[in-house]
Amino acid sequence: MPSYITPQREMRFVANELLNLPEHYASLPGCEETTDDIIEAVIDAASTFSEEVIAPLNQVGDQQGCRLEGDTVITPDGFKEAYKEYVDGGWPSLANDPDWGGQGLPDSLSIIVNESVGTANWSWSMYPLLSHGCTKTIETHGTDEQKQIYLPHLVNGNWTGTMCLTESHCGTDLGLLRTKATPQDDGSYEIKGTKIFISSGEHDMAENIVHIVLARLPDAPAGTKGISLFIVPKFLPDSDGNVADRNQVSCGSLEHKMGIHGNATCVMNFDGAKGFLIGEPNKGLSCMFTFMNSARLGTAMQGVAHAEWAFQNSLAYAKDRLQMRSLTGPKAPDQPADPIIVHPEVRKLLLTQKAFVEGNRALAYFTAMQVDISKHTTDEAAREHAEGLLAFLTPICKGFFTEVGFEAANHGLQVFGGHGFIAEWGMEQNVRDSRISLLYEGTTQIQALDLIGRKVLMTQGESLKRFTKIIHLFCKEHAGDKAMKPFVEPLAALNKEWGDLTMKIGMKAMKNKDDVGAASVDYLMYAGYVAVAFMWAKMAKAAQDHLANSDSERAFYEAKITTANFYYQRILPRTLSLKETMLSGADNLMDLDAEHFSF
């Protein structure tokens, strides 16, 4: 049976030694009280909850799934009770505004908790985690009355939230949506339409569900310029903000899915439901991006979660499973065969998982720090810089983490050999559960277009320069450090090449815009490999500094340097082929006429 242990030592290394979160918090108004002790206490408590309460429910959720009884979705055994314990522990309020009952802790601390909870049981974690985006959307764009009604309940976790975008005929192209919103005399709107793929759209874990819904007003212009955003609760609140009458919104069916069986993915019917406008009419898409950006960073953590789960379980198996002898002679002569961890190709699978999960975790926490700065700083220049970095890094994190997270999940199954294909070991579930992360909140292809198109080329490369300047200064600072040479020299070269490649693609696009689309995913993956290389260089430096001053935990810090070397020598060279493919142009993709695609 699979197991999960929160990687507390790894989390503390990134939080305290690599990124120095205590100093970061001390510099931000409202975060000063988030001291080392608070960080330690939160990580420890989240670990206990994750390991003891929800990790044991991971396979239960996969095996039982959800079921629709009448107009209610029944979640797997133990899910409802675990959610009550989560709410009673105050976890939903962790990083929310104290004005609405939140604890006011930084978002970067919250993302550490989300990693622990999500790795333990991703299907379960989706129920509370989607509420964060709903809360931020209402907090940012709602009226004072809407905030008073909804935020206290969402913050304390008694109510959960969803986002309802997709319809059967349109996915990412929301300009095609057909759901209608008709104004009513009382200032509300009648919402009619059907949404699909709605995660946590109906369940029995909370007393109310607040749907954030995109719909069109009767006089709305066509396309994305005619989309408005609405709050549509499952139960309408009374004048005191308590649940009252059932609204005309219901789950029509549950999707039959490849994975994440423990989470209810619903077809939601809005049959004349009462809704309430958020923000300005026809400005709903820009408001929705408040929710989407939060969800995309959350989904990025799914890539970290499935890689961590795969690594932990396949590492334990590789140390125990006996098969064949080492090519350099027996390593366990008292056993009939050696453990498979002695074989180089098994080591490659394990080190690839380790390199991805630790490198991606570091970049995720760094990105979350930008959320802290944008939310709390009083320095406008610092806020603008952080918001620019956040916008640039979000599609990289979402797209890259989920792609390599799925790769790591597959490596985990591979280490188990035939046993990986058997359900009881949990590895095939991890592969199935991880696969959705490449699709929702925008596929990798959509993230790639957003990165190279909107975030890089449309800003004339300014967003890219914000990040590459940070890398440049790091490389410049350590250029004379002999121990850092294996990292600084290739990183500096790739950092410069990144800008050169961007310019070349931009020039090609002036002749053929399809060249941008043709290069986009390769560009995103290249960006991810380089960004994580920067994190590994920083981790190597932190490990070197520790070993120069202390002999404690030598094995831990030496492993950091060894894994950094592995990443630079075995993973980072993938950028060589990506460079060639992204510059090869669109012709090799577009020259074959559509009618000539045949079988």
Q: Which residues are catalytic?
A: 441
What does the alpha-carbon distance between residue 359 and residue 16 come to, in Å, rounded to a whole number?
15
DSSP per-residue codes, 26-46:
HTSTT-TT--HHHHHHHHHHH
Structure tokens at 79: 């899910």
Enumerate residues 6+ apart whose C-beta is below 8 A from 337: 322, 323, 324, 325
Dihedrals phi, psi of 550, to nearest 5 degrees: -155, 150
Residue 80: count of CB within 10 angstroms of its CB: 15
Q: Give the integer Cα–Cα distance in Å for 548 and 542.
A: 10
Closest CA to 522 of 439, 437, 451, 594: 451
End-to-end CA distance of the chain: 43
Decide the pairing of beta strands 208-215 and 159-164: parallel
CA neighbor of 289 nearest in space, from 133, 433, 420: 133
Q: Locate the DSSP E strands across 133-280.
A: 159-164, 180-183, 189-199, 208-215, 228-233, 235-237, 243-246, 249-254, 265-278
Pull the structure tokens for residue 460: 């004339």
Number of C-alpha atoms within 13 angstroms, CB side, residue 128?
A: 28
Those residues whose C-beta lies under 8 Å from the C-beta of residue 562, and which sit 6 or more positions away, are none
CB-count exposure of residue 591 (10 Å: 0-12, 13-18, 19+): exposed
Q: Using alpha carbons, select from 389, 365, 373 the residue that is nearest to residue 39.
A: 365
Angle between helices 380-415 and 514-549 (to 10 degrees): 90
Helix (H/G/I), strand (E/B), else coil: 170: strand
